[in-house]
Chain A
Amino acid sequence: MGLLTNLINGISLGSVYAIIALGYTMVYGIAKMLNFAHGDVIMVGGYICFIAMNNVGLPPVVAVLLSIVGCTCLGIVVERLAYKPLREAPSLAVLITAIGVSYFLQNTALLVWGADPKAFRSVIDSPSIKLFNGQLTVSPVSIVTVLACVAIMVGLTLFTSRTKMGKAMRACSEDKGAAQLMGINVNTTISMVFAIGSGLAAIAGVLLCSTYPTLMPTTGSLPGIKAFTAAVIGGIGSIPGAALGGVLLGIIEIFAKAYIGTQLADAIVFAVLIVVLLIRPAGLLGKEIHEKV
């Protein structure tokens, strides 16, 4: 039963990584930039939800919705103010800016909400489910997390394959110049992707804090880095890749913690990244780029 419990926890943690990784991978796919501030949007999402529930006393559903709206706006504003002016700049400048935005968000959070950790109350307030005469305990948050991840995956897949805006997004990610010739406004499309990614980060933040209920200004950084690792393992730019990488990474992390040692778990996670990149440089589901003349 221990194995099964670990597997469930791994898939649940992995689902959170997957939701964060989707944001990384979509932004990379279209803006060709690594938004290292993405993890900190998760933290902001957590705080918005925490304040809405604890300080204002709103019901969890409303708090989560507020958090999504807040982060979506934050994503659009950050893109407009920090990244859009650098559209023609070398990618290193954009990368450094993203790191700057990350520190800016963390320190603003420190200033506004203080350094002491907040005890996050889970948004799902129901008792654990016991199976097999109580030998296996599954927390409802785990179930909701996995379901949310599946729903988001299905939703995004349908969006990018069936809708006009979704197809335009893929067109932009392949060739911005040609997309403009079609009449697609590339700036609007990039804004939209940041909005979607940041909204997803809010959901991930709420779910993460519901499972690991310590909220502080640095809460988002390590999960952010791990989700980035997951996106790279799955093949950055690929939506199914992000989901696969996220779930794999979550399972590996929980198993490493359970059977090898908590201290080594993070090292093992990043070692997996190195191994995958050695064998498949484009990631598990990433495409090798063929240039056709």
Chain B
Amino acid sequence: MAMLKVADLNVYYGSIHAVKGVSFEVEEGEIVTLIGANGAGKSTTLNTVAGLLKLRTGSIEFEGESLVGIPAHKMIAKGIALCPEGRRVFQDLTVRDNLDMGAFTRSDDEVVEMRKVVYERFPRLRERRRQRAGTLSGGEQQMLAMGRALMGRPKLMMLDEPSMGLAPILVQEIFDIVKVLNEMGTTVLLVEQNARMALSIADRAYVLETGRVVTMGTGAELLQDDEVRKAYLGG
């Protein structure tokens, strides 16, 4: 059975039909990516799974249990974390406090333990733990956002455009970290505009166009697909 099963999802912003019947599945242990252009409905889909947006029709099931109507603040306890687009770290809080917020629903002992794990994975965050998050560079903020999402020990980590606005060398680093997180046992649902990078690490991928899934396949298949190459990989 799939870990996450989204079926015939329809989401509106007022009268704008942003997601039009999207269906996809994520198996435990996989990296699945949703790729597509700006406005294809990728972020909307993630935000709806995370409970930040309400769906009009359709179903979302996580480990066989419906997520429809469950408020966003209860998702992390179910094992779902979203690392949002634009990082959205708490600028006024220190790096350490940001991480602690990620484990808000956990006990103090677990916070200390998870902080160790995160600092090991992101040594830079340990160095900067007393700095305000707003003073970090873009790459460091992305690492903080990922570390913060990791603090809640999610089974499923959803990442929304983690490479956005980063220098190429940092993009490589971020994707390496995503792979490591996955090898450590976290299932990953990744939304990216950097289709080449996303497909190269993904087990499976779905291509979204104007709110619909138009193609799906393994990462390797889509990297070879003529249509996908023309539209998203620059020919």
Contact = CB atoms under 8 A, between A and B. Distances in A.
Interface in A172-207: 174-175, 177-186
Given A170-B90, A170-B92, A178-B84, A183 B73 contact: yes
B62 to A, nearest CB: 15
A182 B152 contact: yes
A293 interface: yes
Contacts of A174: 90-93
Interface residues on A, range: 10 to 19
Contacts of A179: 73, 101
B74 A183 contact: yes
B90 A171 contact: yes
A183 B51 CA distance: 11
Interface stretch (B28-36, B75-83, B118-126, B217-225): B75-83
Interface string A43-80: 00000000000000000000000000000000000000
A185 B72 CA distance: 9
Interface residues of B, number: 31
Nearest to B134: A292
Contacts of A164: 100, 104
B104 A182 contact: yes
Contacts of A186: 73
B84 A167 contact: no
Interface in A144-176: 164, 167-168, 170-171, 174-175
Contacts of B100: 164, 167
B162 interface: no
A293 B86 contact: yes
Contacts of A184: 73, 101, 104
Contacts of A178: 84, 88-90
B73 A171 contact: no
A182 B102 contact: yes
A180 B71 contact: yes
B50 interface: yes
A11 B227 CA distance: 73
Contact of A183 (B52, B76, B86, B92): B76
A195 B124 CA distance: 39
A167 B73 contact: no
Most chain B Cβ neighbours within 10 Å, of A167, A174, A175, A178: A178
B148 interface: yes
B82 A181 contact: yes
Interface string A31-45: 000000000000000
A168 B92 contact: no
A181 B165 contact: no
Given A164-B100, A170-B90, A181-B73, 11 more contacts: A171-B90, A171-B101, A174-B91, A180-B51, A180-B73, A181-B76, A182-B102, A182-B104, A183-B74, A183-B77, A292-B91
Interface of B: 50-52, 71-77, 81-82, 84, 86, 88-93, 97, 100-102, 104-105, 134, 148-149, 152, 165
Q: Which 5 A-B pairs have the closest CB atoms?
A: A180-B72, A183-B105, A183-B76, A178-B88, A183-B104
20 contacts: A164-B100, A167-B97, A167-B101, A170-B90, A171-B93, A175-B88, A175-B90, A178-B88, A180-B51, A180-B72, A181-B72, A181-B73, A181-B82, A182-B104, A183-B74, A183-B75, A183-B77, A183-B104, A183-B152, A184-B104
